[in-house]
């Protein structure tokens, strides 16, 4: 695996306790840890957005990132994506990475398949795009114009565009926030199916506590640019918000976010399961998780 490593001033400073289990910049590189941030700092003028943050994401691990608005979540994701330069610290990420944002960001003058291969110089681009669209259940829409796609379809095209790049790190910046509740459930199913099949490391930025517990192996809470909590999610799927263990994780996360816990409705359906009749054919109909 090719890794990009960025070393900037400040990497030699003593590590601070930010909840990252005593990680230090001089420690040997852990095996199978494609994402490593040490003393990561990002400033905009006098404003410190990321404050000497330490974080590892293991190979194939699904991590959800929670935090209040302004806590630095999107700034961290953009740094991992290579879209923003950090001020100081050390950051190592896989060279093969892709990001999906809240808006699909499709080019309206290009058909769906051309959006999937946008910017890529590859052999047989249409066939590669067709295979990626088939994985998200949209091969029948390969010639569609973006304006004719529903919100969920447009996000699936954005996911196909990420998949065709075969990322070792998949970055998701609130990709389901603008979708209706039923479409969001289907997208949860889809992202889990794709993650199980391709096994990239995933970082999902979200404001939705239930979404984080439903999808992730581990939830990280960011507060004022530093990690306030790491929480392992030791639940097999499909995960039920009515499960007392799910409720306990929700309460711990809401407490870390400074919010009063909210009980799930007694008749709540599992957040990663949808009625069989409503789910489209393809990978979106698969539920459950691979035991760790």
**Per residue in 12-60, pLDDT tens?**
333 333 433 333 333 444 447 889 999 999 998 899 999 999 999 999 9
Pairing of strands 35-44, 47-57: antiparallel
Question: Tokens at residue 137, please?
Answer: 């259940």
Ramachandran angles phi, psi of 89, nearest 5°: 110, -170
Residue predicted with more confidence, 90 or 30: 90
Q: What's the N-to-C CA distance of the chain in angstroms?
A: 22
Q: Which CATH architecture has domain 1-96+167-292?
A: 3-Layer(aba) Sandwich (3.40)
Which pLDDT does position 259 carry in this prediction?
A: 81
**Residue 280 confidence class, pLDDT cut points 50, 70, 90:** very low
Which pLDDT does position 264 carry in this prediction?
A: 53
Give me the residues paired with residue 90 across strands. Answer: 7, 38
CA distances, 99 to each of 51, 191, 231 (Å): 23, 13, 24
Q: Name every residue whose Cβ is closer than 8 Å to that of residue 277 and which is 6 or more positions away in sequence.
A: none
The distance of Cα 183 from the centroid of its chain, to the nearest Å, equals 17
- Distance CA(139)–CA(188), nearest Å, equals 19
Spans of all domains in the chain: 1-96+167-292
Which pLDDT does position 291 carry in this prediction?
A: 42
**Is the alpha carbon torsion for 252, 253, 255, 260 positive or negative?**
negative
Question: Tokens at residue 135, please?
Answer: 């994985």
- Distance CA(267)–CA(245), nearest Å, equals 16
Which pLDDT does position 187 carry in this prediction?
A: 93
Instruction: Please give the order of strands across the beta sheet that includes 3-8.
Output: 3-8, 88-94, 35-44, 47-57
**Residue 266 confidence class, pLDDT cut points 50, 70, 90:** low
**Residue 276 confidence class, pLDDT cut points 50, 70, 90:** very low
Which pLDDT does position 262 carry in this prediction?
A: 60
Residue predicted with more confidence, 109 or 70: 109
Span of 90-99, 212-221, 231-240 with lowest mean pLDDT: 231-240
- Secondary structure of 170-233 in the HEC alphabet? EEEECCCCCCCHHHHHHHHHHHHHHHHHHCCEEEEECCCHHHHHHHCCEEEEEECCEEEEEEEC
- Distance CA(120)–CA(100), nearest Å, equals 16
Longest dimension (CA), the chain: 57
- Distance CA(169)–CA(41), nearest Å, equals 21
Residue predicted with more confidence, 221 or 269: 221
Measured at the alpha carbon of residue 136, what is the angle toward residues 283 and 131, in degrees to the nearest 5?
110
pLDDT greater than 90 at residue 204:
yes
Ramachandran angles phi, psi of 8, nearest 5°: -130, 165
Measured at the alpha carbon of residue 124, what is the angle toward residues 123 and 127, in degrees to the nearest 5?
140
Write out the DSSP string of 244-281.
HHHHHHHHHHHHHTT----PPPTTPPPTT---TTTSPS
**Residue 157 confidence class, pLDDT cut points 50, 70, 90:** very high
Residue predicted with more confidence, 231 or 12: 231
- 3-class secondary structure, 52: strand
**Residue 122 confidence class, pLDDT cut points 50, 70, 90:** confident
Span of 14-23, 75-84, 224-233 with lowest mean pLDDT: 14-23
């Amino acid at each position: 695996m090719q890794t990009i490593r960025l070393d900037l001033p400040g990497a030699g400073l003593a590590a601070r306790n930010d909840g990252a289990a005593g990680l230090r910049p001089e420690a040997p590189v852990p095996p199978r840890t494609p994402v490593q941030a040490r003393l990561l700092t990002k400033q905009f003028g006098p404003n410190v957005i990321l404050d000497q943050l330490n974080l590892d994401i293991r190979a194939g691990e699904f991590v959800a990132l929670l935090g209040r608005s302004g806590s630095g979540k999107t700034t961290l994701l953009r740094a991992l994506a290579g879209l923003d330069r950090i001020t100081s610290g050390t950051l190592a990420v896989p060279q093969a990475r892709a990001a999906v944002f809240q808006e699909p960001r499709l080019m309206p003058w290009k058909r769906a398949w051309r959006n999937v291969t946008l910017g890529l110089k590859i052999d047989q681009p249409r066939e590669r795009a067709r295979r990626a669209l088939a994985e998200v259940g949209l091969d029948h829409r390969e010639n569609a114009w973006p304006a004719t796609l529903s919100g969920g379809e447009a996000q699936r095209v954005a996911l196909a565009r990420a998949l065709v790049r075969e990322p070792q790190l998949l970055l998701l910046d609130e990709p389901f926030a603008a979708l209706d509740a039923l479409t969001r459930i289907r997208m949860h199913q889809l992202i889990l199916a794709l993650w199980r099949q391709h096994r990239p490391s995933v970082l999902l930025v979200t404001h939705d506590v239930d979404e984080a517990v439903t999808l992730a192996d581990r939830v990280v809470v960011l507060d004022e640019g530093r990690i306030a909590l790491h929480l392992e999610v030791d639940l097999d799927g499909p995960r039920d918000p009515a499960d007392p263990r799910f409720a306990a994780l929700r309460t711990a996360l809401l407490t870390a976010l400074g919010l009063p816990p909210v009980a799930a409705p007694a008749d709540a359906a599992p957040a990663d399961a949808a009625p069989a009749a409503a789910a489209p054919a393809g990978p979106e109909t698969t539920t459950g998780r691979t035991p760790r």
